[in-house]
A and B are shown apart, each in its own frame.
Chain A
Amino acid sequence: MKKFSPFFILIAVAFLFPAQPVFSKDTVVIYTSLENEEFVEYIKQAKVELPDLDIQAIRLSTGELGARMLAEKNNPQADCVWGWAVTNMEEFVPRKMIKPYKPEGWDKIPAHFKDPNGYWTAIDLYAAAFVINTKVVEKKNLPTPKGWKDLLNPAYKDMLIMPNPASSGTGFLQVASLLEMLDGDYKTKPVEDNKAWDFLKELDKNMGQYIKSGSKPAKLTAAGEYAVGCSFAFVYSSLKKKGFPVAMVLPEEGAGFELEANALLEGARHEAAAKKFLDWALSKSAMEGYSKFKLGVTYPGMKGPADMPSLDSIKLAPMDFPWQSKNRAKILEVWSNLFLH
């Protein structure tokens, strides 16, 4: 028996590991689709400014997060969502999965950045952008694209990469903006008859890959794997800072954009703590944190990062969130049938 004692020590050790010190803090469980890079910074700030909260969070892609919440509908594990695409959020309101809550400072947020009933409140806006590897473009002697239509140039064959709209919110807003911009009658005709599909079919001929996440096209382009990555704006500035040979172009047709919003979840186990967190997430100091990364935040008068074009100088696509939200499943079905192989 003595010889066996190492096992019992091992067993004891194994079971002692999970016994972490008990916090007297209030727990709050947060789901988010914000990019890891920014999110880690915000969380650091939140932990300093909300010392009595024990913040537990997981970061999943827009689609993964939705699936997770649907799966947990009858047994919600999270208390609130933070920075999740409004298109997806709108879909979840009629499913009775979101509880209206108007956080402190809600009145300051302009009306078009929030749900009138307080189901969700947007914190920021992020826009689609092309990230271009200047070295690759030079080496292969490619023209610099100005907008989506330039990407149809056969010279770009297999040199483009964009996110899969089914898994990435960025990919979805790119496709949705094209559907709305290239077909004036998008509202009245069935999704599958939209004129933009013909454009996307042409674009598909040049597309090297549809990839799962929205930031990866920019990163792979920066690493020299592609010439042009259809991605979003802030990932460009962080790559530029790291010294990658990249340039950014906002599509001249109009940049598709998405609002990222916060909401309280129905069935939250730590509702009081969640409300406290949501109040903070809309506060001026939190917004200042977002504004270091995002093209625009919803706090009135706050400017975006210095190395990005200011919001009012950008031509934004006319995004129709209610239509997108209602037709999301159909859009993805048509897209998947056309382009997944």
Chain B
Amino acid sequence: MNSPQREDTLLSNYTVSSARMEFDKFIVPTVTVFILLLLFFFMLFPLWMILKLSFFKGGELALANFTLDNFKQYFTTAYTLRSLWHSLYISGVTTAIVTVLVFFFAYALTRTTIAGKTFFRNIIMMPLVAPSIVQALALIYLFGRNGLITSHFFQIDWNIYGATGIIVSEVLYCLPHAFVILFTTLSAVDIRLDEAAESLGASPFKVFTRITLPSAKYGIISAAALTFNLTITDFGNPVVIGGNYSVLATEIYAQVTNLYRFDLGATISIILLVPSLGAFMLNYYISRKSFSMISGAARPFIPPTRKLKKILYSTFCYLIAFSIILIFATVIIGSFVKVWPYDWSLTLEHYKFPSIGGYSAIWTSLWISLIVGVVGSFITLVAAYAMETRRPYFKQVMYFFSVMPAAIPGLVMGLGYILAFNKPCYWFYGTPWIVVINIVICNFTLGILSSVSNLKNIDSSIEEASISLGGDTLSTFFKIIFPLSRVAFIQNFTYFFMRSMTTISAVIFLVSATVHLAAIEIIMLDNDGWTASANAMCTCIIVIVFVMIGILHLVNKWAGQTPAKEVPSQ
């Protein structure tokens, strides 16, 4: 280490030109300002346009133009007001069902000794790889008016269109999201408490209600809030299976596209923002609390579960896994059979997409998603790094705006983008770039959260060492932080890629004659009654996402191998 040669290199590193030192000082502030500007321009500005259009006549900001007419019209027209009650009802019921189901599912995976835990954990994450429309498509094939189960198996007239259909599809769609939270909570809460209570003679029921439930309460509330938010903002499932049952998201779309009422669309957007923002704030508040609880937890071994309990929990988990697999199997099989459910001969007919988008839409979606993956994971990592090296005040401001996108429904953001950027001066309007920006911003929150938690795991002494050895901010970032974050980077890339392939609501207003997207094609095909081709398009997306996850898994393994030793464990 002390060889003269080494010292020479150190010295030469110390004699950086003063200009470069000056330059270095400005890097972090510049990046901070850049990220903040990005969020202001692409998140707050579109929201501001929506706010303006709903409260001011013609969207012209002037005291004389201020009006509550739009809100008055919304609340006094029976059929528009209904969408609010429908949304609250659907979201409420879905939240209750999902929270209960997922709690016991996560409990089975963390507190019992049932077999096949890895299988269950992988299966429940599956809904993430498909657009939030796959559930509705499958349910119609199974329980529709001409469904396999309802009409052909049981030969009954009952069908799933309407509220029931939306609730069932939303439940199946929200499972993985709620599961991540509850699984983390339940595996972090100290299991020794339960044991202590049991050995002191408490009945299993008492242990469950007095110890297990209360210790997981933050996780439960947080999962419920997230489910509520996802359900109330979802567009894909209600539009397919809702029939005449309108919810807020579909009502926004209907007002804008059917009646050309952009102002009422904006007004309903504001009304939708209230509950979704509320649920988000609750989640935000709770998760900060619960994370502080998790950190010090211990995980001793799980005592063998009694036989009856084991059988019950296994059956329950298999039921849930079966429902998810059934959904995917139905859509995939449905894309290959000639006429569901009459003619089961196999065909590739439905893969000749009867639309102008077709395979070019899949291609466009693929490369847009690759760009979104790279840009999204890189920007969130840079933003997280800048945030971690900022003074507390800036950090708070930046953190708040960075996590805010999760609270904004995709459809609202999309409408805001039309209102804000549809001017000749914004060259990117009508190009794929507006789609890229929109998707990156809409999914900023999770990218930031995982980048921040990853940076916290990197020992700060490494960074200090780099700086004291004369590395400037840029080289520290690229030579130390970036390589050490590669696993998180790949995870974020996967997340952004998946979201970009499957999102519907955010981009439905942004597709154009030159930009066709696969997820939107599904809606359009289904709309025209090409349900089998819609299933085929869904299958294509699912396959692409799975292939990508496979590739990244390999890359992750390979990239994570050797340097794992370098990562200091905390």
A contact residues, total (Cβ < 8 Å): 62
Chain B residues contacting A224 (CB-CB under 8 Å) are 145-146, 151, 342
Chain B residues contacting A164 (CB-CB under 8 Å) are 258
Partner of B422, one of A75, A329, A341: A75
Bound CA–CA A215/B524 (angstroms): 12
Contact with B along A30-60 (1 / 0, CB 8 A): 1100011101100100000000000011110
Determine whether the beta carbon of A218 is less than 8 Å from that of B529. Answer: yes
Bound CA–CA A305/B59 (angstroms): 49
Partner of A36, one of B356, B514, B555: B356
Residues of B407-464 at the interface with A, using a CB-CB cut-off of 8 Å, are 418-419, 422-424, 429-430, 432
Bound CA–CA A340/B259 (angstroms): 14
Determine whether the beta carbon of A72 is less than 8 Å from that of B422. Answer: yes
Bound CA–CA A32/B454 (angstroms): 48
Determine whether the beta carbon of B356 is less than 8 Å from that of A39. Answer: yes
Residues of A206-236 at the interface with B, using a CB-CB cut-off of 8 Å, are 208-213, 215-216, 218-220, 223-226
Chain A residues contacting B256 (CB-CB under 8 Å) are 67
B254: Cβ under 8 A from any A Cβ: yes
Bound CA–CA A61/B527 (angstroms): 9
Q: Tell me whether A13 and B370 are in contact in the complex, defined as CB-CB below 8 angstroms, given that A1-B483, A167-B258, A225-B144 are known contacts.
A: yes
Chain B residues contacting A209 (CB-CB under 8 Å) are 161, 243-244
Comparing A2-10, A120-128, A182-190, A275-283, the segment that makes contact with chain B is A2-10
Residues of B516-541 at the interface with A, using a CB-CB cut-off of 8 Å, are 516, 524, 527-531
The residue on A at minimum CB distance from B86 is A341
B371: Cβ under 8 A from any A Cβ: yes
A166: Cβ under 8 A from any B Cβ: yes
A314: Cβ under 8 A from any B Cβ: no
Determine whether the beta carbon of B146 is less than 8 Å from that of A78. Answer: no
Comparing B77-85, B207-215, B391-399, the segment that makes contact with chain A is B77-85
Bound CA–CA A209/B356 (angstroms): 28
Partner of A67, one of B239, B260, B513: B260
A77: Cβ under 8 A from any B Cβ: yes
Determine whether the beta carbon of B513 is less than 8 Å from that of A58. Answer: yes
Contact with A along B204-248 (1 / 0, CB 8 A): 000000000000000000000000000000000001000110100
Chain A residues contacting B342 (CB-CB under 8 Å) are 224
Chain A residues contacting B430 (CB-CB under 8 Å) are 77
Contact with A along B316-352 (1 / 0, CB 8 A): 0000000000000000000000010010000000000
Partner of B483, one of A3, A6, A58, A166: A3
A289: Cβ under 8 A from any B Cβ: no
Chain B residues contacting A336 (CB-CB under 8 Å) are 79, 259
Determine whether the beta carbon of B146 is less than 8 Å from that of A223. Answer: yes
A57 smallest CB distance to B (angstroms): 5
Partner of A75, one of B371, B423, B559: B423
A306: Cβ under 8 A from any B Cβ: no
Partner of B513, one of A56, A71, A332: A56
Which of B486, B513, B530 is most buried by chain A, counting CB atoms within 10 A of its CB?
B513
Determine whether the beta carbon of A74 is less than 8 Å from that of B422. Answer: yes
Chain B residues contacting A30 (CB-CB under 8 Å) are 513
Determine whether the beta carbon of B371 is less than 8 Å from that of A57. Answer: no
Partner of A15, one of B371, B419, B530: B371
Chain B residues contacting A57 (CB-CB under 8 Å) are 356, 513
B289: Cβ under 8 A from any A Cβ: no
Q: Tell me whether A216 and B529 are in contact in the complex, defined as CB-CB below 8 angstroms, given that A64-B257, A225-B146 are known contacts.
A: yes
B482: Cβ under 8 A from any A Cβ: yes
Chain A residues contacting B79 (CB-CB under 8 Å) are 336-337, 340-341
Determine whether the beta carbon of B258 is less than 8 Å from that of A63. Answer: yes
Chain B residues contacting A71 (CB-CB under 8 Å) are 262, 418-419, 422
Determine whether the beta carbon of B527 is less than 8 Å from that of A213. Answer: yes
Chain B residues contacting A216 (CB-CB under 8 Å) are 527-529
Chain B residues contacting A22 (CB-CB under 8 Å) are none
Determine whether the beta carbon of A213 is less than 8 Å from that of B422. Answer: no
A22 smallest CB distance to B (angstroms): 14
Contact with B along A294-336 (1 / 0, CB 8 A): 0000000000000000000000000000000000010011001
Q: Main SS of the interface on chain B?
A: helix
- How many A-B contacts at CB < 8 Å in the complex? 153
B563: Cβ under 8 A from any A Cβ: yes
Q: Tell me whether A14 and B374 are in contact in the complex, defined as CB-CB below 8 angstroms, given that A40-B354, A67-B256, A209-B243 are known contacts.
A: yes
Chain A residues contacting B562 (CB-CB under 8 Å) are 3
A66: Cβ under 8 A from any B Cβ: yes
The residue on A at minimum CB distance from B555 is A6
Bound CA–CA A329/B258 (angstroms): 9
Determine whether the beta carbon of A11 is less than 8 Å from that of B244. Answer: no
Bound CA–CA A216/B531 (angstroms): 10
Bound CA–CA A78/B422 (angstroms): 13
Chain B residues contacting A249 (CB-CB under 8 Å) are none
Chain B residues contacting A223 (CB-CB under 8 Å) are 146, 339, 531
Bound CA–CA A42/B511 (angstroms): 22
Determine whether the beta carbon of B486 is less than 8 Å from that of A4. Answer: yes
B355: Cβ under 8 A from any A Cβ: yes
The residue on B at minimum CB distance from A338 is B79
The residue on B at minimum CB distance from A161 is B145
Determine whether the beta carbon of B529 is less than 8 Å from that of A220. Answer: yes
Bound CA–CA A332/B79 (angstroms): 13
B176: Cβ under 8 A from any A Cβ: no
A70: Cβ under 8 A from any B Cβ: yes
Residues of A66-106 at the interface with B, using a CB-CB cut-off of 8 Å, are 66-67, 70-72, 74-75, 77-78
The residue on B at minimum CB distance from A135 is B342
Determine whether the beta carbon of B356 is less than 8 Å from that of A43. Answer: yes
B373: Cβ under 8 A from any A Cβ: yes
Q: Tell me whether A14 and B244 are in contact in the complex, defined as CB-CB below 8 angstroms, given that A59-B355, A213-B527, A336-B79 are known contacts.
A: no
Chain A residues contacting B418 (CB-CB under 8 Å) are 71
A17: Cβ under 8 A from any B Cβ: yes
Chain A residues contacting B385 (CB-CB under 8 Å) are none
B42: Cβ under 8 A from any A Cβ: no
A319 smallest CB distance to B (angstroms): 20
Bound CA–CA A71/B483 (angstroms): 45
The residue on A at minimum CB distance from B243 is A209
Determine whether the beta carbon of A213 is less than 8 Å from that of B373. Answer: no
Partner of A213, one of B254, B355, B356, B529: B529
Bound CA–CA A341/B146 (angstroms): 23
B524 smallest CB distance to A (angstroms): 7
The residue on A at minimum CB distance from B83 is A340
B105: Cβ under 8 A from any A Cβ: no
B309: Cβ under 8 A from any A Cβ: no
Determine whether the beta carbon of A75 is less than 8 Å from that of B424. Answer: yes
A63 smallest CB distance to B (angstroms): 5
A261 smallest CB distance to B (angstroms): 19
Bound CA–CA A20/B318 (angstroms): 47
Bound CA–CA A17/B370 (angstroms): 9
Q: Tell me whether A31 and B513 are in contact in the complex, defined as CB-CB below 8 angstroms, given that A1-B483, A4-B486 are known contacts.
A: yes
Some 13 contacts from A to B, beta carbons below 8 A apart, are: A4-B486, A7-B489, A10-B374, A36-B356, A56-B514, A61-B257, A66-B257, A164-B258, A166-B258, A167-B254, A210-B244, A225-B146, A336-B259
Q: A77-B429, A329-B259 are known; give 10 further A-B pairs, CB within 8 A.
A: A13-B370, A36-B528, A39-B356, A40-B356, A43-B356, A56-B513, A63-B257, A67-B258, A210-B244, A213-B527
Top 3 A-B pairs, shortest CB-CB distance: A219-B529, A17-B367, A166-B258
B residues contacting A by CB (< 8 A) are: 77-79, 82, 144-146, 151, 161, 239, 243-244, 246, 254, 256-260, 262, 339, 342, 354-356, 366-367, 370-371, 373-374, 418-419, 422-424, 429-430, 432, 479, 482-483, 486, 489, 511-514, 516, 524, 527-531, 555, 558-559, 562-563
